[in-house]
Chains A and B, each alone.
Chain A
Amino acid sequence: MSEELEARLRQGDEQALAALFTQHRPHLFKIISFRLDPRLAQRVDPEDILQEAFLAAQTRLVHFVKDPMASSFLWLRLITLQTLQDVYRRHASAKQRDFNRDVAMDAFSGNDQTSVALVNRLAVRGPSPASIAARRDLISRIGEFISQLEPIDREVIALRHYEELSNSETARVLGIQEKAASIRYMRALKRLKDLMAQLDSLGDS
């Protein structure tokens, strides 16, 4: 069924696109939630991004037909991320036009978004400190840890756990061998375990 849809999509079948998009929608939603900057989240609804991503996929279907990616999921994921990026850019350029200089720009830094997202997610797991000051300490520890990871290892964790991609999808996205992706994943997990031990002892003290 799914394979048939994939085949039809490669022929440029719009109905297959709609069906596949619906299939992948929950997963894409998760990915947006993970990638969406919390500050932009106040202004942007992931549902709107999905909607826009679908329209973008429709117009860009010809490109997929011409140059199909490994799977419709990876293609739709890419388009979704591009749409998200467009939304960032729109907020950025709106800012430049707007006398008011709105706050959206804050959400759009050239900084490594994966790190920011990971720190936020990992901090949820840490002990719940009595004050913001303690949380600040926690966040800076996690941030320090994340910055020690190699960027690709960071992405591997983000892709495998927060985007819930398989190892082979992760490898494709990163353009590395599956084996290399796997090794990086194992290495990052080991270091992550150490971090978690640290966080737990932080909670106990």
Chain B
Amino acid sequence: MSDEAGDEALDELAEEFAGLIRAGKNPSIEDFAAKHPDLASDIRDIFPAIEAMELAKRGEEKSDAAAAKMPERVAEFRVVRELGRGGMGVVYEAVQDPLERRVALKILPPRISGDPVGAERFLQEARATAGIKHPNLVTVYQAGKDGDLLYLAMELLEGESLEQRMRRTPRPELRELLRVFREIAAGLSVIHSHGLIHRDIKPSNIFLEGENGRVRILDFGLARSSSSKIQLTRKGDILGTPAYMSPEQARGEQVDARSDLFSLGCVMYAVCTGKRPFRGESLLDQLTSLAVDKPLPPQQLNMEIPEPLSQLILKMLMKIPDNRPGSAAELLCELNSIEKIVAEPVSEAAALPIKSSGDIAQRSTTSARRRILLPAIAGTVCAATALFVFITRQPEAAVEPAPIKKAAPVFPISDADVTALVSAHSKPANGTYVIELPLTLGEGIWIPKESGIKDRPLHHVPRHVFEIFSVGGRSSPHAIGMHPIEHSPADIIVRLDKKFKSFCAIISLNDPVYEAHSAMTFEVIGDGVSLWQSKPVTSRSETQLCEVSVAGVTTLTLKVSCAGDDRGTHAVWFEPYVTR
């Protein structure tokens, strides 16, 4: 049945069916089919997809919810309050009864405790770690099972994770950072000396205790094991954070202690530079990056990092384990010697590539400025080049104009203004004069300041706007972006000097949160006269084509305004061009 009434009825049933699953019920597809014989085949056809999606969702939520309910008591522990949660379960503060000892009690998620083999394995591994005591490792008191709950009692620590610290203090002082690295290496060497591999070294597993921030490594021996059938972390975690994983671990191969050194290398890189060494837009990209990318030396990203440390980190990030430091102990030695050099009095430290703070401040300003400009320039070049902005002379108008592959314009940019001025030049290609967009076309691209917001010149435009335009899910590297807000339209002024015949453009919107803005209107104005106006554009609406004659026009203004919304949006024209 596929008539309209049937579709409507089917949709209502689908909504009802999904609602039942969301409410925790287990509706039967066959029951639905039996109750609605006229829709039975459609129901059998599509309900399995609904069921699968909703059940998958419920599975996640259920395990979260189960873990979320705070138990009053687990074995001999009285649960006091929740401390935090993660992929490995929820951690509570608890009091161990006969001892009156305050502990951190980790309750593992049901998907682990529910699997008898997995649970047994967890207990074995956890008990093995319970014997290890070291100032840089969290002390595990005991592990056990109470009914369905699998738990791990650990020393209760006060402080914050390295992850939280990184968020709070993006640029730690060099000596502090070396101390942290040294202590992690020390803790790791102890784990390794017990024949254990951590397998999940990452900033959230490194705890900085108390005021002096002593390193305590968490969750050692608990992470997933390649030889184990169970995956102790959630699938979602594997999805979300292979960020600190070694290449061999990502491939699912057997790992040894050097895999942990790679992960620690990633952590150190991130701490030193604020940037993970291997990154990607998607998991796939990230894994590809992990497999092929050679990260820049940390020193290039943060000149405060001394050369030997920079080299050491790169060595830890070698793809082949044999090329990394041989052991955590070896790493510890190297860190010790770097720390010694850094600790030397300032006069001697001058030999190190560490600049005095004034110098750093100055250089960082320059390089910050350079960095700010570059994306803007790159973006402009991108807009200018791939834009298919070309100007054909009338006699050669029949010749297929070729887009420009590469542009080398000069971009004097004044920070005080938002004008990106470009020098004009043209070059013949196949007898057609192809001219990069802002060049002869106009004097530049104007991205107006947001009204009321000072100090946000051209480069306030987020990088993505310039680097990759995505319009309605379609990647549009040819676009020009503008950011209007209410009462403050954005203009691009193009000087045509009566030399051109027509202007064409495809118009659409760009915004990552797809409907989080109100409609835009694009307008083409020639010498103050409106030549064309778009229908209201949202990122949902179809792209619109603008084609107007600009014969005799001196100045063309491309205007974007924002209707009735007080926060504005990103807007784009894409693939505009003019012809002579």
Contacts and interface: CB of A to CB of B under 8 A. Distances in A.
A200 B276 CA distance: 35
Nearest to A130: B252
Nearest to A192: B49
B462 interface: yes
A103 B276 contact: yes
A140 to B, nearest CB: 6
B279 interface: yes
B468 A67 contact: no
A189 interface: yes
A110 B372 contact: no
Nearest to B465: A110
Given A60-B566, A101-B371, A143-B284, A85 B56 contact: no
Interface in A70-98: 78, 81-82, 84-85, 88-89, 92-93, 95-98
A167 B7 CA distance: 12
A106 B460 contact: no
Contact of A100 (B11, B249, B302, B565): B302
A133 interface: yes
A112 interface: yes
Interface stretch (B186-194, B236-244, B307-315, B526-534): B236-244
A162 B249 CA distance: 31
A161 B53 contact: yes
B510 A196 contact: no
A93 B460 contact: yes
Nearest to A84: B513
Interface stretch (B267-275, B348-356, B433-441, B551-559): B267-275
B464 interface: yes
A58 interface: no
Nearest to B282: A116
Contacts, number: 215
Nearest to B474: A151
Given A110-B510, A132-B251, A164-B22, A103 B270 contact: yes
Contacts of B464: 92, 108-110
B251 A82 contact: no
Interface string B441-466: 00000000000000000011011110
A109 B468 contact: yes
Interface in B529-565: 538, 540-541, 564-565
Interface stretch (B99-107, B142-150, B163-171): B163-171
Contacts of B167: 43
B248 to A, nearest CB: 11
B76 interface: no
B512 A175 contact: no
Nearest to B512: A113
Contacts of B371: 96, 101
Contact of B7 (A100, A135, A179): A179
Interface stretch (A1-9, A16-24, A117-125): A117-125
A82 B11 contact: no
A193 B284 contact: no
Consensus secondary structure, chain B interface: helix
A35 B535 CA distance: 29
A136 B287 contact: yes
A38 interface: yes
B120 to A, nearest CB: 19
B170 A161 contact: no
A98 B274 contact: yes
A90 B342 CA distance: 35
B52 A125 contact: yes
A74 B554 CA distance: 46
B117 interface: no
Contacts of B22: 164
B287 A132 contact: yes
B459 to A, nearest CB: 6
Contacts of A152: 540
B239 A108 contact: no
B25 interface: no
Given A39-B240, A81-B516, A193-B48, 10 more contacts: A85-B511, A85-B516, A100-B273, A119-B282, A125-B56, A182-B7, A182-B11, A189-B49, A192-B53, A193-B46
20 contacts: A38-B236, A38-B240, A81-B516, A88-B512, A100-B171, A100-B274, A102-B274, A110-B469, A110-B470, A110-B512, A111-B470, A114-B473, A121-B57, A123-B239, A125-B52, A125-B56, A130-B252, A132-B252, A161-B18, A192-B53
Interface of B: 4, 7-8, 10-11, 14-15, 18, 22, 42, 45-46, 48-50, 52-54, 56-57, 60, 163, 167, 170-171, 204, 231, 235-236, 238-242, 245, 249-252, 270, 273-276, 279-284, 287, 301-302, 364, 367-368, 371-372, 375, 459-460, 462-465, 467-470, 472-473, 475, 510-517, 538, 540-541, 564-567
